[in-house]
Amino acid sequence: MNLKMEDAIKRIGRYLRSSNTHPRLVNVNNPEDAAAIFQQFHVGENVFKAVPDFSAPDENISEDALFNYLGGAKGAVFLTGFTSYYKLLGEQKLRDFLNRMIGMSLVDIHLVVVCYQCEKLLSGLDTRYSQFVYLVDDKLEDLPQLVFVASDMPIQVGSASVEGIQNISGYIESNAVLMLYVHTNKHKSSYPSSLYSIKEQNNSFEALCSLDSSTEQLKESYGTETQWDKALDRINRYGSWMQYISDVFGTYTNLEIVAGSWQSFDTYKQWLYFIALKLYGVKNSWCLSKAITGTENSSMLIRGVFRSILSIKSDDKDFWELYAERKNLIKSFGNPDAEVADYCAMVKSKGKYALYYLTDASKMERNLIFKMLFQYADEFDQSEIIAALKNVYPELYFYLQPYQFKNELLNSYFQEYKYQKVINRVLPEFVNAVDEQAERREFNLILPARSEKIDAIPKQGTLLYFMDAMGVEYLSYIMEICRRKHLMAYVTICHCELPSITSLNKEFVEAFVEGGATLVPDKNGIKALDDIKHHGEDEFDFRNNELPTYLSRELEIIGEILDKIATKLMSGDYARAVMISDHGASRLCVISKKENKWEMASKGEHSGRCCLVSDIDEQPPCSTKDNGFWVLANYDRFKGSRPANVEVHGGATLEEVVVPIIEITYSPDEIEVHLLDKKITFSRRKKDAAIKVFSKIKLDNLSVRVSGLNNEYEGTSSDRQTFVVALPDLKKAGTYFVDVYYNNNLLKSGLKFIAENSDFSERKLL
């Protein structure tokens, strides 16, 4: 019968005082009503028995123990929690228990079974027993979901939990909760008929899914057991992934800014970063977004970053912007050798366009750049390759930039020489130019001897860097490094003595010693470049590797020297540094592999580039006689001589003979220059286009290079501040950009002016 709580209590009281001992079943629907019965009757000699009284820890109830107890008990006995326990076993087990209770015959015991939310089953009992059933009419509390958690697993602080299966029912009937964690060694499969919804947490990942539902976005395979264990421990403290990740990385919404610290992360933190990307993504990094998609573990994240660019076409309008982001990321991630090797294998699928997808971030990729240039140079214009290298390999790009020698022969010769060195080819038309110079040897006419220029250089307060075998081919690269380091370089181009060997070309050393200069490191100079050219290493030796991969190391060496020069000059202890070379060297002579027919009386020296003169020798063609040697001026070597390993010197080609004197000073302040006119008019007929450039300080000279025009244009000035620069090659109206130079030092780039054609305006007026 349905009763109010107070009526049920009255009926129980009358039952306990009566001589009738038939069991009473009292149903309640919420913890408050269960507590009311306990408070009312837990007095005197009344006994309350619960499931744990008849169960071992984390074990099911012993029914034998229960019924043996009831068979011998006396007085008033209340059973609580049993119906909630039997719900774990299923409806049939619960029904059997209720039927057994209601049908018991007792003598010396008044038994009250407190049932919990069993109204439906109790209403269906035999009507003969309905007088023994009291149904308390009150609100129905929702039953919780049970979460079985392994005994050694932590549970989030503040969560409802019990230890062992035997304590479930007591907690349910005393507390209103939606989820109850149960530390148990039992499994969900042990209770296939349970009336409760049961989830299982056998490991930390499952526990994390319960602690923070966002975990369900992840796969358990994303981490190891140890990683999930550690994460669970942390998230128990923080309460959520969001709080934890925000504390570790400082953000969960801008995770791309953290990538730069990847190499400082330990293995666990790298894994956590991977998980953070999986959970929250990255709005501001296409590369990380693409990399994390489909990546199944943290170790593959870097591979995803490496391969991300392969899905973008090289002619995409955003390609270089996306390329730059990826390049920065692979540097941040440290370029692991295994991933670089994997990427180098994959990038070859791009065929001739593989060049666009490589970077200078690792030695392996730099070497592959040289291989791609050699393999596919014929399929691109030279300008296309150089334009690509601006992004792909900036150091090599600056090496290939034109240096203005103020002599057309030298300008064109060394530009072509450098390009052919890089692509590892000797082009027939260039060989013709070399052979022509072998006959003319114009360097004697257009260039002074180095010794003529030494006296004019101040020696006191000067650092001398004697750079053995550094030819003029490196000047454009040197000028760029100087610009980056606020160094001003004044270059004098000279020729060395023949043959182009060190023993005949170090007269300047004593001059600097006598003048009080400081020699770095000593009189013997810096041999690093010469050592590579002569001996190389296994990876550079022409017999093992015909590609010019050693050029990367040459540029590094020069860059390192300029770093040291900048540091010395910034200290203020020295006024200037001077880099002087004894001679240059030729790569193209080595890869030409040409041995002439002349076998001289004396053995050829310096890989056959020269040999001692003897009375029985006849001067070979394309050679000159100097300082007791026959010196070859083309790409031959004397018959029988040993081929060079990397580069060669001793001969009289321009790359061996033309040498720089570079005076370097520190210039901490930018030299301000700007265009006086943002718009000019010109006549194509008159070729009178001109711009005016103003310099804040006085300069001896100034020149400009203009976008779309191929020449460098010298300015003229009466006051050394305002320079008028004639542009006779400017023939089209439009917008132009100007780079301003002082002695080949870039002062300012990207100055803009608009040119209008006055011829068109005149015709329009007629």
DSSP β-ladder status, 610-612 and 629-632: antiparallel
The mean per-residue pLDDT over the stretch 276-290 comes to: 94
Q: How confident is the model at residue 542 (pLDDT cuts 50, 70, 90)?
A: low
As a CATH number, domain 671-765 is 2.60.40.10
Of the CA atoms within 13 Å of residue 39, those in its CB half-sphere come to: 9
The three-state secondary structure class of 433 is helix
Fold for the domain defined by 2-136: Rossmann fold (3.40.50)
Question: d(Cα 719, Cα 419) in Å, to the nearest integer?
Answer: 39
Three-state DSSP state, 27: strand
pLDDT for res 750: 94
Q: Which helix (H) or strand (E) holds 132?
A: none
**Residue ranges of domains in the chain:** 2-136, 220-387, 393-668, 671-765
User: What is the average pLDDT across 383-395?
Assistant: 97
Q: Strand pairing of 487-495 and 2-3?
A: unpaired
Q: Write the CB contacts of 500 (distance below 8 Å, at least 6 apart in sequence).
A: 583, 584, 609, 631, 649, 650, 651, 652, 656, 657
- Does the pLDDT at position 390 exceed 60? yes
Closest listed residue to residue 414, CA positions, set 692, 659, 608: 659
Tell me what pLDDT residue 417 has.
Answer: 98
Indicate left, alpha or beta for 117 from its phi (over 0: left) and psi (-120 to 50: alpha). Answer: left
End-to-end CA distance of the chain: 115
Say whether pLDDT at 272 is over 80: yes
Q: Which two tokens stand for residue 382?
A: 């030279």
Q: Which residue in the block uniquely carries the two structure tokens 């018991």? A: 104
Residue tagged 């039953």 (tokens): 143
Q: Which of 337, 434, 322, 422 is nearest to 382 (CA)?
A: 422
Q: Which of 647, 613, 610, 405 is nearest to 500 (CA)?
A: 610
Burial class (CB in 10 A: 0-12, 13-18, 19+), 254: middle
pLDDT higher at 125 or 31:
31
Would you call the peptide bond into 521 cis, given omega within 30 degrees of 0 as the criterion?
Answer: yes
State the pLDDT at residue 16. 95
The first and second tokens of residue 352, run together, are 């001739």
Condensed to tens digits (0 to 9), the pLDDT of residues 92-114 reads: 999 999 999 998 988 889 999 99
CA angle, 380 then 381 then 386, to 5° = 95
What 3-state class would DSSP assign to 744?
coil
Taking only the tens place, the pLDDT of each residue in 718-729 is 999 999 999 999
Q: Are 24 and 98 in contact (CB under 8 A)?
A: no
| Distance of alpha carbon 732 from alpha carbon 14, whole angstroms | 115
Q: Please report the pLDDT score of residue 203 as a whole number.
A: 86
pLDDT digits (tens, 9 = 90+) for 630-681: 899 999 888 766 777 899 999 999 999 999 999 999 987 888 999 999 999 9
What per-residue confidence (pLDDT) applies to 729?
Answer: 94
Asked if 206 and 200 count as a contact pair (C-beta separation under 8 A), the reply is: yes
Q: pLDDT-derived band of residue 765, with 50, 70 and 90 as boundaries? A: very low
Name residue, tokens 């000067």.
462
Q: Is 733 within 8 Å of 760 (Cβ atoms)?
A: yes
Measure the CA–CA gap between 643 and 730, rounded to whole angstroms: 49
Query: pLDDT digit string (tens) for 587-618?
Result: 999 999 876 666 665 666 667 788 888 766 77
Residues 456 and 454: their CA atoms lie apart, in Å, by 6
- Model pLDDT, residue 766: 42
Alpha carbon of 40 to those of 43, 48, 564, 604, 673: distances in Å? Answer: 7, 12, 92, 119, 97
The mean-pLDDT minimum among 352-356, 540-544, 603-607 falls in 540-544
- Of the candidates 3, 18, 35, the one whose C-alpha atom is nearest the C-alpha of residue 110 is 18
The type of residue at 639 is K
d(C-alpha 10, C-alpha 5), whole Å: 9
Q: Average pLDDT in the 472-497 region? A: 96
Dihedral (C-alpha) 466, 469, 473, 474: value to the nearest 10 degrees?
-50
Cβ contact 136:28 at 8 Å: yes
Give the residue carrying structure tokens 């017999």: 543
CB 730 within 8 A of CB 755: yes
Asked whether the beta carbons of 729 and 708 are under 8 A apart, the reply is no
Helix (H) or strand (E) segment spanning residue 348: none
CB 446: neighbour CB atoms within 10 A? 14
Q: Give the integer Cα–Cα distance in Å for 351 and 344.
A: 12
> What 3-state DSSP class applies to 386?
helix
pLDDT at 156: 72
Instruction: Write down the H helix ranges in 298-392.
Output: 301-307, 319-332, 337-347, 354-357, 363-376, 382-392
Average pLDDT, the chain: 92
Lowest mean pLDDT among 183-187, 198-202, 701-705: 198-202
How far is residue 462's CA from residue 569's CA, in Å, rounded to a whole number? Answer: 10
AA identity, residue 120: K
List Cα–Cα distances, 445 to 297, 448, 494, in angstroms.
Answer: 67, 8, 11
